[in-house]
Amino acid sequence: MLILNRCSFLIQSLTLFLGTVLLAACATSPGGLLRPNGVVVAPDGSLYVMDRGNYRIVHLSATGQWLGAFGQLGTEPGHIYSGWDIDLDTAGNIYICNQVRAEEGASHFRDGLEVFSSTGQFWRTIGAQTYAYDDEQINAPYGLDIDEQGRVYVADFDGDAVRVFSAQGELLARLDGDAHQFGDPTDVAVDDQRQLLYIADPFKSQVHQFSLSLTETGQLTATHQLSLGGYGREPGQFAYLQNLVVDDASGRLYVSDMANRRIQVFDSEGQYVTQLAAPGNWQAMGLDLGPDGAIYAADAFNNVIWIFEPDGRVRQRVEAQS
């Protein structure tokens, strides 16, 4: 069972069939990170962090020094209500998944992607829609990835789908979960070199691999290749997996296996390779890779970013302080 709201979280180790229960409590932490859900490495090596509990995006140097922050709580375009994953396009623009959940008594929600410049100026929304509480066509974006062509792939958790947008924000494709045998996706990752799409399916405890292709009319299609994982604690199994990142050079897939407190690594054939873990209790959420092969992980339990060496050793624990 997973209990979520837009505030920060206290975590208690109550073991259910999915692993850890998250119990909500409201707070903010203006001097540091609070429940960071995502991290992305810029070309200059600096980091952008989705600081969910503080409703902002934090900019850090490559060594974790504070460079700035922007964002504010709100439900209007340009505001952050419940930020999840984060990514950059080739121009350096910042994309975040933003879920807008109405307060008690309100009748409409508004979810979508928020796009900001590298300096924090709001640019636009993508895929945002306003819908009634009982509308089945809801769009709850959890994870995203941007391919080398600028196409934006979004994991639509409540819609049981992956939506694909052009660099201009036009909807190109909707991969339906029922048709493609996945549900409630929490993240996506694109392997540009091998033209593969990975989808995180936490309730099946699996990651699904699809091959991508374009039809003669330019329509994007996805063909299922394999599914890896299954519920459990053993290597290659998951307990409430969350986020994904893929290394285009090697084809290795990194999966944040949240309730098992680890990151698991697989090759492009779906074979288990190894795992990474921070010391003590931690909660692996958003992932990214640095240009030197380092692995970056947002830790929503300790409110830090972990940096791992390519061989899995911990390089640094980043505790952002303004």
For residue 3, pLDDT over 50 is answered with no
18 pLDDT above the threshold of 60:
no
The mean pLDDT value of the chain amounts to: 86
CA 250 to chain centre: 21
- The backbone region for 242, taken as left when phi is positive above 0, alpha when psi lies in -120 to 50, beta otherwise, is alpha
Residue range of the domain that includes 211: 9-318
pLDDT score, position 25: 37
Q: Which of 134-138, 153-157, 316-320 has the lowest mean pLDDT?
A: 134-138
pLDDT digits 0-9 by tens, 178-217: 887 899 999 999 999 999 999 999 999 999 999 999 776 6
User: What value does the CA radius of gyration of the chain take, rounded to a whole number of Å?
Assistant: 18
Asked whether residue 2 is assigned to any structural domain, the reply reads no
| pLDDT average, residue stretch 155-166 | 91
Q: Which residues contact 78 (CB under 8 A, 6 or more apart)?
A: 114, 122
pLDDT of residue 257: 98
The answer to the question of residue 79 being in a domain is yes
**56 within some domain:** yes
Domain-embedded: residue 85 = yes
Interior CA angle at 295 toward 114 and 34, to 5°? 50
User: Averaged over 136-146, what is the pLDDT?
Assistant: 79
Q: Is residue 273 part of a domain?
A: yes
Q: Is 231 part of any domain?
A: yes
* CATH code for the domain in which residue 18 is found: 2.120.10.30
Provide the 8-state DSSP code for 177.
H
* Residue 223 in domain: yes
pLDDT tens by residue, 50-105: 999 999 999 999 888 999 999 999 888 899 999 999 999 999 999 999 988 655 55
Position 3 in a domain: no
Domains held by the chain: number: 1
